[in-house]
């Protein structure tokens, strides 16, 4: 009998890669989507005849109970969230509703319907914020620097709390930044790959960014969803950091992306204070020893390959081929 999995946030970057992975492994995949007047399904267009899309919303407790009861999944992957850090300063309450209390609602639905369902919580390196040690591992204290990070820290703790209180198989994957050609255009990697492609094709002359000194540990999203799945296949639930262990600055990112197409970034990149954050995180780099040791996980795509792949995909897309994508970058 095949396993059934629910993925919330299935239309996002990670949801689309995880749906592919689970389908490949013979799962029945139920994807949860919020009702929108203009559905945003470009990342899962190629999967729509193979996944069962159901309405649900992390703000609506009853929709979650009904969903879990009707589907009776073996596994739930909670990838739904308000995912863009700057937006969390504009809508801190809504960020808390989705990223913090939404997790409690989903855990509560699972607890009421069937406590044998395994649960994955998408936690984030943003919880480390103003870092207490470098590199960060599962025991590093949290010091979030945004409403996004604060809400994710709550979600992490409530997941651990439900595991310990109700004996659930609930795990928290602390994933460092992970990117791909399916990343939203507002995130810095994709903003850069899209900007470089536009400049190379003569459709733009400059790319305006914020903090070039920030350093992140950037990996490939396709690698990271393997770690999510693997966490739910273990004998015992536990939390894991997932990261490459290598960090680069935003300046390294633009240098790598522009030089890939034979351009000098200094001729095209400008900075503007409107892309700075009220509080930024200067340096994140993860220690994924536990995931490597216990899950046998390791990344297959290094930073340079990732950036080049993203630039090539945007060149192809803008030249009229390749994956579809939304027309314009949203906001910051
Ligand atoms: P985050 O780590 O989840 O916030 O991922 P982002 O891709 O949004 O940002 C990564 C880092 O890039 C942050 O430290 C930002 O301050 C920095 N950054 C510099 N310029 C930009 C920009 O124009 N847009 C975004 N999104 N980030 C930028």
Name the token pair of 272.
């503007």
The alpha carbon of 294 is separated from its chain's Cα centroid by a whole number of angstroms, namely 22
pLDDT score, position 321: 60
- Establish whether the linkage from the previous residue to 245 is cis, with ω within 30° of 0: no
In angstroms, the first-to-last Cα distance of the chain is 46
Residues with CB under 6 A from ligand 1: 85, 126, 177, 186-189, 191, 209-211, 214, 216, 250, 275, 277, 280-281, 332
pLDDT score, position 329: 43
Report which ligand 1 atom has the smallest distance to the Cα of 146: 4
Q: What ranges make up the beta strands (E) of 228-317?
A: 240-242, 248-249, 269-271
Side-chain-facing half-sphere of 327: CA atoms under 13 Å: 0
Task: Give the closest residue (by CA) to ligand 1 atom 5.
Answer: 187
pLDDT score, position 36: 87
Cα 289 to middle of ligand 1, angstroms:
26
Segments of the chain with pLDDT less than 50: 327-332
Rounded to an integer, what distance in angstroms lies between the CA atom of residue 252 and that of residue 188? 12
Cα 268 to middle of ligand 1, angstroms:
18
pLDDT score, position 331: 41
| Contact (CB, 8 A) for 119 and 111 | no
């Amino acid at each position: 009998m095949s396993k059934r999995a629910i993925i919330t946030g299935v239309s996002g970057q990670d949801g689309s890669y995880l749906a592919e992975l689970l389908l490949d492994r013979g799962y029945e995949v139920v994807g949860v989507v919020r009702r929108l007047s203009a559905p945003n399904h470009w990342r899962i267009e190629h999967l729509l005849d193979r996944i069962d899309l159901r309405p649900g919303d992390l703000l609506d407790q009853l929709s979650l109970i009904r969903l879990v009861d009707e589907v009776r999944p073996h596994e739930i992957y909670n990838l739904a969230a308000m995912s863009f850090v700057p937006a969390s300063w504009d809508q801190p309450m809504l960020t808390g509703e989705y990223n913090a209390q939404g997790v409690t609602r989903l855990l509560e639905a699972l607890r009421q319907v069937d406590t044998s369902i395994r649960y994955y919580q998408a936690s984030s390196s943003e919880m480390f914020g103003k870092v207490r040690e470098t590199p960060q591992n599962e025991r590093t204290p949290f010091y979030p620097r945004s409403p996004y990070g604060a809400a994710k820290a709550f979600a992490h703790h409530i997941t651990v709390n439900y595991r310990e209180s109700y004996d659930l198989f609930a795990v928290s994957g602390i994933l460092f930044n992970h990117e791909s050609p399916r990343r939203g255009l507002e995130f810095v990697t994709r903003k850069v790959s899209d900007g470089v492609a536009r400049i190379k094709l003569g459709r733009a002359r400059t790319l305006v960014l914020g903090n070039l000194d920030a350093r992140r540990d950037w990996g490939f999203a396709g690698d990271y969803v393997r770690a999510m799945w693997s966490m739910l296949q273990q004998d015992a639930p536990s939390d894991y950091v997932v990261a490459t262990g290598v960090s680069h600055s935003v300046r390294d990112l633009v240098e790598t992306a522009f030089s890939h197409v034979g351009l000098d970034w200094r001729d095209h990149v400008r900075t503007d204070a409107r892309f700075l954050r009220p509080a930024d995180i200067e340096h994140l780099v993860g220690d994924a020893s536990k995931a490597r040791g216990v899950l046998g996980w390791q990344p297959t795509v290094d930073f340079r390959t990732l950036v080049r792949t993203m630039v090539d995909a945007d060149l192809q897309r803008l030249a009229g081929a390749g994956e579809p994508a939304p027309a314009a970058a949203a906001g910051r």
